[in-house]
Amino acid sequence: MFKNSSKVIAAALAASKTPLRAKLPGVARHAGTAGSSSYSAVENPVFDARRFIPGVTTIVSALVGGGVLYLAQEVRKYNDLTQDMKEKFPLPPLVKHHRKEHSSEKEWLIIGRQSPGYALPHQDKKDTQKKQVDTSEIEIKTLGAVLDNESHYDLLPWSPFQIKLFSDNPDEKVVVIDPKHMLGLDLHQIPDSARFEIGIAHKPGFADIVGKDSPFAHLAMAFRLVSDDAKPVEGRVIVTGAEIKKVIKKTNANVCEKQHCDLYRSNCQSASTYGLAEFAKVIHKRAEPTGSETADIKIISGELHALAFDNLSRGVSNNDVVTHQLTYTLPKVLKERGIVALTPDVSSEAHEAPRI
Amino acid sequence: MKTNNHQLRQNDLLSSLDPKTRQAIQMQAPQMEAEMMVEIERLQGVVFKGVSKNGLIMATVDGNHQVLDIICDPACKTSDMSLKEMTSYMMEAINEAMYLVDLNIESELSTIQYKYLSRIIK
């Protein structure tokens, strides 16, 4: 059907004048997501979900000859982020090896971004959300999914979470946890004064279908509850329940609720990376400093080095909001803390936040 | 004008990359486009079904976003839904099917893009 490219382009142009979806409810929201206000056709010449709205034929016009520009653009963004982080961030801790251990305690809180479609039934509030999705509620599906507690969800059930707690200890182990070790707290139930060690949770996705090189993995923020009488492990980053709530609220507002969770441009990695960088900001402005703030911020930013480039940096180097957080907002904190020297573009007042 | 801008932007970007990467991009891009074209042709023939909230209306849409069929359950005849409600349920069913089309296209094409981008970045 599409052998002749000139006919294809003509057909695509014709199709683009009859946007069926534009006449239907829910379309505007679907179309206006993913940090898209600064998004142009030139930025993603091959693929833009909004091009699909008029019809598949429209894609073809964008496809022919657009591959070089698309790839060059994505590689350049990736390289820019690599360079930026190299200049503006302290080096990550040198990890000797990733030994693993299994958790035996119910002490883990994992908060990540996921589709409401993963909500388990019979979980009160979550059950309501699942019912809404199951009844073809397009508005819910097309909104970015919010960060929520993983223990409420049946997400990628065939693989466990592997958690790396942020620490300056190069011998820090990766902890493997099962759902039974997760705290089933809703966000509002987390006590403000509770103390948590902070880390990142990684869950391989669809490995049974696409093999071990699956590009899909779920990333979430992980928190280990430090009981009242326990002494925190030295070198780990401790945050409070109130700080967790503050960060999640901000991440929801700037990433999850504003961007369509499309797995490639905005995904769980976008939310986790943004959120963890936000922790550095919150710790920096802590009202009652504990004295470990500078060291904690240094550890977080070091860990973000590796995290930002996981999964080919999809959802980070190609997401303006997250890139801005990593290359402008966080370096400012690092400078104010005296961790790194400030480069000229970071200090510039003219630096604009991406519109979301 | 648009083509010129496209070409200028492309040249500008390519010149900022190292020769090895540039060569890799120029080699991989046509393959990626070809693979995506094949996938698009396949997706045009794929049919998606969307169902209204009350489960009484089902819309069938193809990969080209053409509505192929709308089926009303026989229970529609006996229910007391108004014409306005009926059209609202139709819209729900069509929206659902359209959403599935978009999601599928987005997912399939992004997977191809990811594959080629990973070859260059790695």
Q: What is the mean pLDDT of chain A?
A: 72
Q: What is residue A84's DSSP assignment?
A: H
Contact A45, A66 (CB under 8 A): yes
Task: For chain A, say whether B87 makes contact (Cβ under 8 Å).
Answer: no
Distance from CA of A67 to the nearest CA of B (A): 5
Residue contact B29–A68, C-beta within 8 A: yes
Query: Can you read off the two tokens belonging to residue A134?
Result: 């199951």
A296 residue type, one letter:
D
- Higher per-residue confidence, A245 vs A115: A245
Beta bridge partners of A219: A202
pLDDT reported for residue B121: 86
Model confidence at A156, pLDDT cuts 50, 70, 90, reads: low
Q: What is the DSSP string of A259-292?
A: S---SSSSSHHHHHHHHHHHHHHHHHT-SS--S-
Helical axes B19-44 vs B83-121, angle rounded to 10°: 150
Nearest alpha carbon to residue B117 among A57, A266, A163, A75: A75
Contact map slice: A 140-179 vs B, CB within 8 A: 141-142
Contact B88, B56 (CB under 8 A): no
CA B82 vs. chain centroid, Å, equals 33
Residue contact B95–A78, C-beta within 8 A: no
Task: For chain B, say whether A1 makes contact (Cβ under 8 Å).
Answer: yes
Q: Choose the closest CB to B10 out of A47, A64, A69.
A: A69
Contact A212, A226 (CB under 8 A): no
Homologous superfamily in CATH for domain B33-121: Nucleoid-associated protein YbaB-like domain (3.30.1310.10)
Domain ranges of chain A: 5-65, 93-316
What pTM was estimated for this model as a whole?
Answer: 0.74
Which range scores top for mean pLDDT: A157-161, A319-323, B105-109? A319-323
pLDDT at A251 over 90: yes
Matching residue, tokens 């040249």: B11
Contact map slice: A 244-273 vs B, CB within 8 A: 262-264
Model confidence at A272, pLDDT cuts 50, 70, 90, reads: very high
> Would you say the C-alpha torsion A104, A205, A251, A28 has a positive or negative sign?
negative
- Distance CA(B77)–CA(B81), nearest Å, equals 9
Distance from CA of A315 to the nearest CA of B (A): 12
pLDDT reported for residue A30: 30
Phi/psi of residue A313, each to 5°? 60, 20
Task: For chain B, say whether A63 makes contact (Cβ under 8 Å).
Answer: yes
Run of H or E residues at B91: helix B83-121
Q: What is residue A28's DSSP assignment?
A: H
Contact A69, B13 (CB under 8 A): yes
B92 residue type, one letter:
E
- Higher per-residue confidence, A151 vs A326: A326
> Mean per-residue pLDDT for B46-71?
92
pLDDT at B69 over 60: yes
- Higher per-residue confidence, A172 vs A262: A172
Q: Choose the closest CB to A141 out of B40, B43, B99.
A: B99
Lowest model confidence (mean pLDDT) among A123-137, A305-319, B58-72:
A123-137
CA A151 vs. chain centroid, Å, equals 18
Q: What is residue A136's DSSP assignment?
A: T
Lowest model confidence (mean pLDDT) among A133-137, A206-210, B15-19, B50-54:
A133-137
Residue contact A67–B102, C-beta within 8 A: no
Contact map slice: A 203-242 vs B, CB within 8 A: 215
Interface A-B, measured as beta-carbon pairs within 8 A, has a size of 143
Model confidence at A320, pLDDT cuts 50, 70, 90, reads: very high
ipTM of the complex: 0.83
Residue contact B33–A1, C-beta within 8 A: no
Distance from CA of A227 to the nearest CA of B (A): 43
pLDDT reported for residue A29: 28
Nearest alpha carbon to residue B98 among A321, A18, A56: A56
Phi/psi of residue A300, each to 5°? -60, -45
Phi/psi of residue A217, each to 5°? -145, 145
Distance from CA of A270 to the nearest CA of B (A): 16
Task: For chain A, say whether B57 makes contact (Cβ under 8 Å).
Answer: no
How many other C-beta atoms can be found within 10 angstroms of the C-beta atom of residue A299?
Answer: 23
pLDDT at A27 over 50: no
Q: Choose the closest CB to B6 out of A45, A59, A71.
A: A45
